[in-house]
Every structure is written in C-alpha cells, then in structure tokens.
Amino acid sequence: MAKHRFWKRGLPWIIPLGCLALWQLVSMGRIVPAYLLPHPFDVCRAAYGYVFEQVGSQPFAGRFINDLLNSLLRVLFGFSLAVLAGIPLGLLSGRLPLINRLLSNMVSAMRAVPGISWLPLAMVWFGIGVKTTVFLVAMAAFFPIYLNSATGARQINPRYCQAGAMMGVGRWRTIVGILLPSAMPQILAGLRLGMGISWAYLVLGELTGVSDGMGAVIMDARMVGRIDIIIVGMLMIAVAGRLCDLLLYYGIRFCFRSARRMT
C-alpha cells in the first residue's frame, strides 16, 4: 500500500525531473552554448536573486513579489469577467435554442480570431497598461468557459427540470439547484482551460510595455540578453499557473458535490 502511494505521488514528477536531467546533461556537454541555454545552477542563482535579494542590489533583484502580485491581480480580474459573462451565457445557450442561435455564429467567428490580433485594437482602445492586459485575459478565457458551460447545460436530462417544476421549484432555484450543479463537471473543465489560457494571454498583454508583472520581467530580460531571467520568469509563471489551477479545482470540488465526479 505504501509503495502504491509513493508511486502515485511520484509519477507526476518523472517527466519534470527527466527534463531537468536532460537539461543538465546538455549543459555539461556544452551541446548548446551557455548564452542560449544557461546551466541550471546559473538559473537557480538568478531565481534566488530575483526572489530573495534586496531590490536594486542588482538588475531584477527582489522584483518577484511585486511582479507576481500585479500579474495575479490582472489574471483574477480578467478571469472573473470571463466567468461572469461565460457561465450565464453558456447556460442560457445550452438550454434555450433561441439564445443558442443568437450567439453561436458570433461566438464561433470571434473564437477563430487569433488572440494576438486583438492586441493592436486593445492598445488603441485602452492604451498600454493594465486595461489592455485584463481585456486580453477576459477575451481569451471567455470562450472555453462559455462553450463548456453550454455543453454541460445541453447534456442535462430534461426530466430533472420537469421533476423540479412538478415539485414547485421556482426558476431561480432550478438554475441554482439543478442546472448549475448538473453542469458543474463540464463547467469546471471550462474554468480550468480558461485559467490556463488566462496566464498565456497575461504574458501577451504584459509584453506590450507594462512596467511590472511576470511578462514584463521576461520582456525586460530579453532586452538586456538575460536568458537566465527569461527562463526564471517562465518557470515562475508555470508554478503560479499550476497553483491557481489547483486552487480552482479543489475550490469548486469543495463547493459543488457534483464536481467531485471529475477525476
């Protein structure tokens, strides 16, 4: 039993550790020049300075907390806007054919437009800064949330709603007590996809000249040729995105019993 538990917990780390070992071998063998792919120890040293050293002691030192907080706020704000629009519209589209016909062509057409195509327009509308980043995050996260919510609502057995109506359940209680919990496994999948996309588009928004944030530090590092800081920024975004995904996953499972059917 203990061996099975150890194997289950260790399995997700096999690929990351394998990639780290391969990186170490490539660096030691000098297969790739150090200015293109720094040694893992150099990246760890840069990460330590970025996180722990005093601000101003050297370039990028001590910026981590400020960059992380600003990026988290932008992701949270944009993702929240996508949730507030995507879940209600998705549930309505899944249950009401009229709403589905009204929205389907528009949503499909807008979803086909690459996210980077919205960047110049967003910069014209909102300028360089937080508003553009939040807009890009909200636009990107909306589509998976909407589509999965619509799919979940469409797959609900109509007998559940009919049984609720026969028992005198009102429309609002039907939505909260029947539609939302029944569609929650699909909604959760859409939320997790939306959260992952939010971090990707956060970096796109912050590469436009924002003074702080995880994407901004990557752009600043590129301008001065600090490949080690670029890798540090990428790793920090990966860790932050994974933690946000776990918080979202377990938070929804805690609030909705129906979401616990998700493995």
Higher per-residue pLDDT: 194 or 183:
194
Residues 6+ apart with CB under 8 A from 90: 145, 146, 147, 148, 149, 150, 152, 153, 187, 190
* Average predicted confidence (pLDDT) for the chain: 82
pLDDT tens per residue, range 143-160 = 999 999 888 888 776 665
Any idea what the CATH number is for the domain that residue 213 is in?
1.10.3720.10
DSSP labels for 144-164? Answer: HHHHHHHHHHHTS-HHHHHHH
What is the arithmetic mean of pLDDT over 128-144? 88
Which spans in 11-96 are helix H? 14-28, 40-52, 64-95
144 found inside a domain = yes
177 found inside a domain = yes
217 found inside a domain = yes
138 found inside a domain = yes
pLDDT tens per residue, range 79-109 = 999 999 999 998 888 878 888 888 888 888 8
15 found inside a domain = no
Report the C-alpha gap between 11 and 114 in whole angstroms: 35
55 found inside a domain = no
101 found inside a domain = yes
Q: Supply 201's token pair.
A: 């588009």
Percent of the chain with pLDDT over 90: 18
pLDDT tens per residue, range 1-34 = 555 666 667 777 788 888 888 888 888 878 888 8
196 found inside a domain = yes
Query: What domain range includes position 238?
Result: 60-261
Residue type, 135: F
At 164 the pLDDT is: 56
Count: domains in the chain: 1
Strands (E), the chain: none
Report the C-alpha gap between 38 and 42 in whole angstroms: 6
Q: Are 186 and 151 in contact (CB under 8 A)?
A: yes
